[in-house]
Chain A
């Protein structure tokens, strides 16, 4: 019997080694798997390469992982925010590496990894400093930049509901990077609000099919509404 449910976040992340590349889902706080990130901090893996759109907000989640000095390199499109102080301080001190990637190129590089694509040409960033040193090609009447996929050892994802096969649904704009990161990692670990029996998820609305998911942990939370 296939059963991807894991009892605890700690058990789900026990084997993450030092130096791993870890994709962390979420755009700001929407979709950010906070409980999995806390477990990764407790687990202790270091020298991590983290892929996320941002570089952490305030003091929790990804920002806490950076504050704990577990991150060697950030791959992201928008590190600088009003509350990204932990990343900012380490970046200015030369203690964390940054690979800055335009947001659409970041998404497509992640998608390409999951889809088995070797590389692709994109018009984004042509003629800018983010394309410096990269191979370019004129195709038809446009210029393109060659970009390579981003593979990960682990993806940490927050979804809404899951069954024991790992089929997932998401909630509103918390979907963002989840479906593409799930496909791009060797081991995709998902925290969900609710687990359900096989057959309870409408097959027409499953967004990430279970083939892309290895482990699922239920984190019961009341749907957050600001007071």
Chain B
């Protein structure tokens, strides 16, 4: 079996984003997806702090402190891009105008509950940002994460043990091992990485998986 690295995961997610989509990329791993969007497809990136049409990172001398993304990194604006205030920005999110939110996660449950904002540690300083709005608002909520924790436990779980970001909100999970759809009747495996059988994925994941007719 050959696990996908972070760049390969980003490229795999990017491949599925269709022409014309409005997309919000979460901070961290999802941000990498921007670098792998298929050439020739017009895909418009949204940033919570009031930008549609986010462009690539600027050259050092082009950095403008008034033009940053939600991760507070300098960005550029594509021709056709627009600026707007925060309430409009979250109207786009909550009002179901965004086609895709791509989010990192600590855990996803079999019914699509998402935990990605808080480890639950009592001494942690909580911070939520826009995660809860994206989880309930985007037409497609897509999670991108490693399949297993560092000590080998599945991050796809029966019930989330970390505090929830949103209930029953995840539509699809991309991991370094598989692509899995969350449906009312359970988790459907869309594909697995080369050399990984459905049975082995099932063993690593723990919770019941369903085999799509087209999956390995």
A residues neighboring B (CB under 8 Å): 27-31, 53, 77-81, 88, 91-92, 98, 100-108, 110-111, 122-130, 170-180, 207, 223-226
Decide: B68 and A173 in contact? CB cutoff 8 A: yes
Residue in A closest to B71 when the chains form the complex, CB atoms:
A28
Decide: A171 and B132 in contact? CB cutoff 8 A: no
User: Per-residue 0/1 for B123-156: is the Cβ within 8 Å of any A Cβ (1 yes, 0 no)?
Assistant: 1111111111100110000000000000000000
CB distance from B53 to the nearest CB of A (A): 12
Name B38-88 residues within 8 Å CB distance of A.
Answer: 47-51, 60-61, 63-69, 72, 74, 77, 83-87
CB distance from A226 to the nearest CB of B (A): 4
Interface-forming stretch among B8-16, B161-169, B186-194? B161-169
Q: Which 8 A-B pairs have the closest CB atoms?
A: A104-B90, A104-B133, A127-B167, A107-B86, A80-B127, A174-B66, A111-B87, A28-B72
When A127-B166, A173-B49 are in contact, do A107 and B72 touch as well, CB less than 8 Å?
no
With most chain A CB atoms within 10 A of its CB, the pick from B63, B74, B84, B136 is: B136
* Size class of the contact patch on chain B: 35 or more
B residues neighboring A (CB under 8 Å): 47-51, 60-61, 63-69, 72, 74, 77, 83-87, 89-90, 93-94, 118, 123-133, 136-137, 163-167
| B126 partner residues in chain A, CB cutoff 8 A | 79-80, 98, 100
Decide: A108 and B49 in contact? CB cutoff 8 A: no
Decide: A77 and B50 in contact? CB cutoff 8 A: no
CB distance from B70 to the nearest CB of A (A): 8
| A91 partner residues in chain B, CB cutoff 8 A | 125
| A101 partner residues in chain B, CB cutoff 8 A | 128
CB distance from B9 to the nearest CB of A (A): 24
When A103-B90, A172-B77 are in contact, do A225 and B130 touch as well, CB less than 8 Å?
no
Decide: B125 and A80 in contact? CB cutoff 8 A: yes
Residue in B closest to A174 when the chains form the complex, CB atoms:
B66
| A130 partner residues in chain B, CB cutoff 8 A | 128, 132
A-B contacts, CB under 8 A, total: 150
When A79-B125, A128-B163 are in contact, do A105 and B66 touch as well, CB less than 8 Å?
no
| A126 partner residues in chain B, CB cutoff 8 A | 136, 166-167
| B64 partner residues in chain A, CB cutoff 8 A | 172, 223-225
CB distance from A89 to the nearest CB of B (A): 10
Beyond A77-B128, A172-B64, list 19 extra A-B contacts (CB 8 Å): A28-B72, A30-B49, A30-B67, A53-B86, A79-B126, A79-B127, A88-B125, A100-B127, A101-B128, A102-B130, A104-B90, A107-B90, A111-B87, A126-B167, A128-B132, A175-B85, A176-B86, A226-B65, A226-B74
With most chain B CB atoms within 10 A of its CB, the pick from A92, A122, A175 is: A175
| A171 partner residues in chain B, CB cutoff 8 A | 66
When A107-B87, A124-B133, A225-B63 are in contact, do A173 and B50 touch as well, CB less than 8 Å?
yes
| B94 partner residues in chain A, CB cutoff 8 A | 104, 108, 122-124
Decide: B63 and A176 in contact? CB cutoff 8 A: no
When A30-B66, A107-B90 are in contact, do A172 and B83 touch as well, CB less than 8 Å?
yes
CB distance from A94 to the nearest CB of B (A): 12
| A81 partner residues in chain B, CB cutoff 8 A | 127
A208 to B125, CA, bound (A): 34
Residue in B closest to A143 when the chains form the complex, CB atoms:
B167
| A122 partner residues in chain B, CB cutoff 8 A | 94
Decide: B87 and A180 in contact? CB cutoff 8 A: yes
| B93 partner residues in chain A, CB cutoff 8 A | 104
Could you show 25 A-B contacts with beta carbons less than 8 Å apart? Answer: A27-B72, A27-B86, A28-B68, A30-B67, A77-B127, A77-B128, A78-B128, A80-B126, A92-B123, A102-B128, A102-B130, A103-B48, A103-B86, A103-B90, A103-B133, A104-B94, A110-B86, A128-B166, A173-B67, A173-B68, A176-B85, A180-B85, A225-B63, A226-B63, A226-B74
Residue in B closest to A226 when the chains form the complex, CB atoms:
B63
